[in-house]
Homo-oligomer: A and B are copies of this chain.
Amino acid sequence: MEEGLVVIPKATVSRLPLYLQALTEYDHLGITLVSSEEIAQKLGITSSQLRKDLSYFGGLGIRGAGYDVACLLGRIKEILGMQKKRRLAIIGAGKLGTALAGYRGLQQHGLEVKALFEIDKGKIGTAIAGVPVYPLAELHAQTARLGLEIAVLTVPAAAAQKVADLVVEAGFKAIWNFAPIRLEVPENIIVQYEDLVAGVLTLVHHLSRKLG
C-alpha cells in the first residue's frame, strides 16, 4: 500500500473535499471518532465507497471502532496539499470578484487573497475587504513581489482570454476561472473551471424531468 506506487482514482480525489467538509463539521462538534456509515449517511453516499476511497491512502481507520476525526482530517489536508499556504490574486473587482475577496472560506483553507487587479480607474487604489486593488498593468510586478500563484478570473467573458494570456505571462501557475469560456493556455498552467451556469442547468434538467 506504498503511496506513490498506487494510482489514486480521479473519482476518489474529487470526493476528498466532500470528506473534508464532513470531517471539519465533526471536528467542530467535538466528535473524535466516526464510522464510515455515519459519514456516508451525512454525505448521501455508500459507506463502502468511503472506505474504498480511504483505503488508497493506507489503513487510516480503527477496526471495530471507526475513524479518528483529527487524524483523518490531517491526512486529507495533506493529500490535498493544504499544508502549504497559497497566495491568490483576483482579476476583476466586479460583483463576483468582490464577493470572493471577502469570502472567509478561502482563508480558512489556507488560501490568501493578496491582491485584486482592475482596469476601472475608479476602483484602482482602493481596498476591498482589506485587499488592495492594483492596476492590471502592475500584474507582472506584483506577482513577483507578492509571490502570487493562483489567479482568480472574474472578468467579463469577452476579456477572459486576453487576461489569461497576461496572467500566464506574469508567472502565475494556476487559474481559477469563473468566466463562461474555455481558455487556451500552455500545458503547464493548471486551469480549474467554475461554471456556475452548468450547476444550475443540471438542476433545471432534473426539475424538468420531474415536472415537465
A-side residues, CB < 8 A to B, are 13-14, 16-18, 20-22, 25, 42-44, 79-82, 84, 86, 95-96, 98-99, 102-103, 105-106, 109-111, 149-150, 173-174, 176, 180-182, 190, 192, 194-211
Return chain B residues, CB-CB under 8 Å to A111. 200, 204
Say whether A150 contacts B203, CB under 8 Å: yes
Going nearest first, the 9 A-B pairs with the smallest beta carbon separation are A81-B208, A17-B198, A192-B203, A95-B99, A99-B99, A17-B201, A96-B99, A80-B205, A194-B199
Say whether B106 contacts A200, CB under 8 Å: yes
**A203, closest chain B residue (CB):** B192
Subset of 20 A-B contacts with CB under 8 Å: A16-B201, A17-B202, A43-B182, A81-B204, A86-B204, A86-B207, A96-B99, A98-B99, A105-B196, A106-B200, A110-B204, A111-B204, A150-B207, A173-B210, A173-B211, A174-B203, A174-B207, A192-B200, A192-B203, A194-B199
